[in-house]
Amino acid sequence: MLILAIDTSCDDTSASLVEFEEASGAKPRILSNIISSQTEIHAKYGGIVPELASRRHNELIWPVVDEAMAAVGETPLEGLSAIAVCAGPGLIGSLLVGCSFAKAVSFSKKIPLVGVNHLEGHILSVFLEGAGPRFPYVCLIVSGGHTSLYLVEGFMHYRLLGRSRDDAAGEAYDKVAKLLGLGYPGGPEIDRLAKEGDPKAIAFPRAYLPGTLDFSFSGLKTAVANFLKGHQRPYGQQMVRDVAASFQAAVLDVLIRKCQWAAKKTGAENLAVAGGVASNSALKHGMSEMARKMEMELFIPSPAFCTDNAAMIAIGGFHRLKAGEISGAGLNPQASLKL
């Protein structure tokens, strides 16, 4: 079964061709996974501008799909079993581009169309490179738009354990980076600077929210802003490193502690971390240490599959198609789509 998948949920235009064994879908064969980033466009604004993102998707959707097909030497859009597309959550203007394109391909080539939840894609991204975790497993999705904990009981069976009540972790990284004058995107730069700073230099707060598995990072962001008000620009290099390290330590302490609580609450022996922030080197190290102490097996996708990509949409589409869930021409994207 050959699936063409498309993801235009935010500011990356992505198309992927993935081949599955029809019986199980085990060990999917990723034939291509093309991602066109818009970081350069949005960097000067310090964040994503939705209208610019959707316009760029319009310009790139055909070239990106052509490149995905050409990478495997196929005649464009021939020999496909189905087309899967991210239907939300995300920026509605961006989602509309991908969904409209996918519906047109489905209609013209008379192949099934399958809408896939972006969060489901992240949850299943850990199956793109191997057997993946055993069910049930706890999955932390941590990115610029989402910070959520799920208990994954099987394909298409997800139970929400906790989510951010305000800013997502990745969003907090970007906002703090902007306060420090580090530019956009801020996550990789804070991760780099934190290695040279003292994580105990500043006692930033941790919102553990006892009794829940929810997250909150807006208070931490405000604490950083208040700390910086007491210092004049330009900030000293070592102070910036210490702020980055202390901020990152506060975020990671909460993420790791919540995953630990979720594992104890559910009894799951496998843990997955997905989403753009899963590429953070300190988070990987902290999660590995926690999983080792708890005798859990940890799964984190390669960096190419942590960020938004169409290959993860393909694996969600395969399992939905296998279960007979075909969206059809009536598929409409939703900016806030529950899983």
For residue range 114-147, what is the model confidence (pLDDT) as tens digits?
999 999 999 999 999 988 999 999 999 999 999 9
- DSSP string of 252-270? HHHHHHHHHHHHHHH--SE
- DSSP string of 96-107? HHHHHHHHHHHH
pLDDT of 173 strictly over 80: yes
Cβ neighbours, 10 Å, residue 214:
18
What per-residue confidence (pLDDT) applies to 162?
98
Q: Which pTM was predicted?
A: 0.94
H helical segments located in the chain: 39-43, 50-70, 92-109, 118-124, 169-179, 187-194, 218-229, 237-266, 281-293, 303-306, 310-322
- pLDDT band of residue 34 (cuts 50, 70, 90) is very high
- Distance CA(54)–CA(48), nearest Å, equals 11
What are the tokens at 270? 């496998």
pLDDT of 22 strictly over 90: no
What are the tokens at 94? 């961006």
CATH 3.30.420.40 positions along the chain are 2-125+305-322, 131-300
What per-residue confidence (pLDDT) applies to 199?
97
CATH fold of 131-300 reads Nucleotidyltransferase; domain 5 (3.30.420)
Average pLDDT over residues 243-262: 98
pLDDT of 76 strictly over 80: no
Please, what is the angle between helix 187-194 and helix 281-293, to 10°? 70
Amino acid identity of 46?
A: G
DSSP 235: P
Average pLDDT of every residue of the chain: 95
> Is 2-125+305-322 assigned to CATH 3.30.420.40?
yes
Nearest to 94 by CA among 337, 339, 311, 333: 333
pLDDT of 74 strictly over 70: no
Tens digit of each residue's pLDDT (9 = 90 or more) over 216-238: 999 999 999 999 998 988 899 99
Cβ neighbours, 10 Å, residue 189:
18
Identify whether the C-beta of residue 141 lies closer than 8 Å to the C-beta of residue 150: yes
- pLDDT band of residue 290 (cuts 50, 70, 90) is very high
- pLDDT band of residue 326 (cuts 50, 70, 90) is very high
Residue 18 CA to its chain's centroid (Å):
19
What per-residue confidence (pLDDT) applies to 336?
95
What per-residue confidence (pLDDT) applies to 75?
66
Residue 279's SS3 state is: helix
Nearest to 188 by CA among 212, 163, 200, 170: 170
Nearest to 83 by CA among 256, 318, 267, 295: 318
